[in-house]
Amino acid sequence: MMFKDFLWLILKENVVINLIYKYLAPRFFCGNVFFDVRNLPIINKDQILKIGNKPNTKFSVKGYTSGTTNKPMTVYRSLQSIFLEEYIIKSYMYENGVGISPRIAVLRGEHLFPANHTGPTFWVKTLFTRRLFLSSYHISQANAHLYLEALENFKPEVIMAYPSSISLLAKFAQKLDWKPNWDLACVLTSSELFSKENQQTVAGVFGKVLDHYGQAERVAALQLCEQGNYHIRPDYSHVEVLHNEHGQHIVGTNIYNSAMPLRRYDTNDYVEGFDSHSKCSCGNHSPFVEKILGRDDDYLILPNGTYVGRMDVAFKGVTTIVESQIEQVERDRIIIRFVPKELDNIKAIEHELSNKIQERLGDSIRIEFIAMEKVPRTRSGKFRSVLRSADISINI
Ligand SMILES: [Zn+2]
């Protein structure tokens, strides 16, 4: 961690580099490069995996796509692409009133302590950079006040978090009637779907919420504005919102990654509310979508072959649970893991969830419930609200 932190200081966090990001980078990444991609074919991850994937340049840095039901893919980034990524996040913060070299608390799935760690500290302060790393894995009703005290003591200007982690902490903070007592500029989230409902909960506790949507392939960046819309960053890549039988989806062409140029790459991420003619009242003129819905593999497939998407909102309005996850393990069987708010009415909660599910799926699918303290995360600590076992194929 110390070495990583030192590298971080050199590459990302010192005042000089922050000044460069703030004042010079906008000229460099002025974007809006015109690409006439209309005649090019659309490609996707499966096609790239099929033909094999090698870096296009001598120097590149490796990354991996995540994905639980799909195979992971290695991606390559040029130095320019790495700087661009940093710039696109930093400029988003600067535009929203964050200072040049902010103190940052991080709640993003770092493995800091073993699962059975009981505290009383659940965080690590770094030596060189002004960051406080908090564990995403130990937030509970019993520990929440310790997390909130740690934040009060550290007084970060920004909290960088996974949506699921900060939503969980916000729900416990609400119960404690807690609000930040220092000047917190914003919460900045990314990497997971962030429902409007949870965004409101987090904003109600912590104030301004910024949410960045991107993907490991780095072909599109969209960022949440104060009106709740996600604006396309035209200085990042060339983005098309296309329509197929499942809805509107994001196809992107990168501009600044010579190590892995991708032209018309289908992210497989679906969105809602895109209209190239509509204007957002926040003042940002770039095109926007109202909602990011998520991936194709978030669908459940019924025994008769129909598939049902958007299950992540199935439990909207249910106030008796803290979080939940639906996993389809067989064609006719799903498991629902949930964290109850109170332990004494589990049967009633199961009944309520069961009704909600049957409204959407009918009764051709068996439901099993597992009440737990915390829904398990992926290896990188991410939360998935809907999962489907790999052998339940979408092409049935
Ligand atoms: Zn807007």
CATH number, domain containing residue 128: 3.40.50.12780
Domain match, 150 and 14 both: yes
Distance 253 CA to ligand 1 centre (A): 23
Domain match, 245 and 284 both: yes
Domain match, 11 and 139 both: yes
Distance 269 CA to ligand 1 centre (A): 20
Distance 161 CA to ligand 1 centre (A): 22
Distance 163 CA to ligand 1 centre (A): 20
Distance 287 CA to ligand 1 centre (A): 9
Distance 286 CA to ligand 1 centre (A): 8
Distance 225 CA to ligand 1 centre (A): 5
Q: CA-to-CA distance for 58 and 78, rounded, in angstroms?
A: 9
Distance 230 CA to ligand 1 centre (A): 7
Q: How far is CA 374 from CA 86, 108, 123, 291, in A?
A: 32, 16, 19, 27
Closest CA to 322 of 108, 172, 137: 172
Distance 157 CA to ligand 1 centre (A): 23
Among 247, 264, 293, the domain boundary falls at: 293
Domain match, 18 and 119 both: yes
Distance 191 CA to ligand 1 centre (A): 20
Distance 279 CA to ligand 1 centre (A): 8
Instruction: Note residues around ion ligand 1 (Cβ under 5 angstroms).
Output: 225, 227, 229, 280, 282, 284
Q: How far is CA 26 from CA 23, 68, 86, 252, 258, in A?
A: 6, 36, 12, 21, 19
pLDDT at 337: 94
Distance 187 CA to ligand 1 centre (A): 17
Distance 96 CA to ligand 1 centre (A): 13
Which residues of the chain fall below pLDDT 50? 68-70, 394-396
User: Is 349 within the bounds of a domain?
Assistant: yes
Q: Three-state SS for 173?
A: helix
Distance 208 CA to ligand 1 centre (A): 14
Domain match, 182 and 247 both: yes
User: Is 257 within the bounds of a domain?
Assistant: yes
Domain match, 22 and 100 both: yes
Distance 229 CA to ligand 1 centre (A): 5
User: Is 284 within the bounds of a domain?
Assistant: yes
Residue position matching structure tokens 């996974």: 162
Domain match, 164 and 197 both: yes
Q: CA-to-CA distance for 146 and 139, rounded, in angstroms?
A: 9
pLDDT at 220: 97
Q: CA-to-CA distance for 357 and 327, rounded, in angstroms?
A: 12
Distance 226 CA to ligand 1 centre (A): 6
Distance 231 CA to ligand 1 centre (A): 6
Q: Which domain holds residue 200?
A: 2-293
We report the CATH number of the domain holding residue 341 as: 3.30.300.30
Closest CA to 324 of 382, 375, 388: 375
Closest CA to 383 of 228, 239, 204, 169: 169
Domain match, 43 and 9 both: yes
Domain match, 75 and 207 both: yes
Domain match, 192 and 308 both: no
User: Is 119 within the bounds of a domain?
Assistant: yes
Domain match, 278 and 318 both: no
Number of structural domains in the chain: 2
User: Is 394 within the bounds of a domain?
Assistant: no
Tell me the residue length of the chain.
396
Distance 73 CA to ligand 1 centre (A): 33
User: Is 76 within the bounds of a domain?
Assistant: yes
User: Is 393 within the bounds of a domain?
Assistant: no
Among 273, 293, 313, the domain boundary falls at: 293
pLDDT at 33: 60
Distance 223 CA to ligand 1 centre (A): 9
Among 255, 271, 293, the domain boundary falls at: 293
Distance 27 CA to ligand 1 centre (A): 23
Domain match, 286 and 314 both: no
User: Is 203 within the bounds of a domain?
Assistant: yes
Distance 210 CA to ligand 1 centre (A): 12
